[in-house]
Amino acid sequence: KVLCSCLNRCLFLCVTHHSVLSAMACAEWSPGSVPTVEAAVVVQLPAELGEGTLWDARNQQLLWVDMMRSRLYRFDPNSGVNEEHDLSAYSKFVSSVVPLCEADDPTGDFVALTLGEGFAVYNFRERSLRILPGNPSLGKNEMFNDGKVSPTGSYWAGTIARDATGEPISKGGLYRRNLDGSVDKVVEEVAVSNGLSWDPDCHTFYHTDTPNGTVDAWDYDAVTGAITNRRPCIEHFDFQTTGVPDGHAQDIEGMLWVARWNGGRVGRYDPKTGALLAEVTFPETAGKQITSVAFGGADLGDMYISTAH
């Protein structure tokens, strides 16, 4: 059984009964097009900007956030319960969430997350939050956005920077919180940081600065955490037609499933050739603002996708 789920203003969507790749293989398509499969509703919720979908394998739950309402959620696919935690007393925004490793959190009650201002740790059981020391000093109109944990355990998260009118400007960055608690700025001049992942061999890092309209690849050094040799690997996105790249997830074959903001779809791309291989589509009621993608479920055969209103 495999789900492909998506969150809209008041919807959480899923594709049922087959693995995503099997569903794509069985989908009807014609020469010159790519196979598609449509998502369907699984949870209803009045979210404004769903983001940060990530699977907690230890607890077998989906973690995700409503960024603009500062809400943190845990969704249990077995019970159908979607547990809400209101973090607005701590920050106006919460943008990403990751589970802690068992060595640091034997009970499974804690998660690390990014608020608008920086990194923090949240205790689900006690419903309490602690701001971590060493957060970077951000600009006046800058806030954290998408974040992921690297293969070596460091927490990477980028920012959104805007001018006085609210337009994105390249004054943000991509940050790495190291295991010793120090924070490094690893990429400068970012406007809207999104879509982080590392390939299965841990040699390549992928990242998106959404206004650029590309997914970029970098050489990744797993020992030092350094990234070098930036180059575009998936291009030719257009805001009005295809939509632009937002968050993404990587499958076992190393292909990238890219959420397309204003495109109303998730595309499966080969990062080596840039080719579009398949797409997940959505009902018209879901809108076009697709934001994040995560694999989940007991065998990681489910796909969860969030959207914004």
Residues tagged in the binding site annotation for substrate:
145, 163
How far apart CA 306 and CA 145 sit, in angstroms, is 14
DSSP string, 148-184: EE-TTS-EEEEEEEB-TTS-B-S-EEEEEE-TTS-EE
How far apart CA 146 and CA 197 sit, in angstroms, is 11
Please give the annotated binding residues for a divalent metal cation, written as ranges. 51, 194, 246
Please give the annotated binding residues, written as ranges. 51, 145, 163, 194, 246
CA distances from 263 to 131, 213, 286 (A): 35, 12, 11
Which residue is listed with tokens 């009118």?
165
Residue pair 92/70 in contact by the 8 Å Cβ criterion: yes
Q: Given the residues 66, 146, 246, 302, select the one marked as catalytic.
A: 246
DSSP string, 40-75: -EEE----SBEEEEEEETTTTEEEEEEGGGTEEEEE
How far apart CA 144 and CA 297 sit, in angstroms, is 27
How far apart CA 137 and CA 156 sit, in angstroms, is 16
Task: Say which amino acid occupies 38.
Answer: E
Q: What is the distance between the terminal CA atoms of the chain, rounded to a whole angstrom?
A: 29
In the residue annotation, 180 being an active-site residue is answered as no
Strands 61-66, 82-86: pairing kind: unpaired
CB within 8 A of 133, min separation 6: which ones? 181
Residues forming the active site: 246
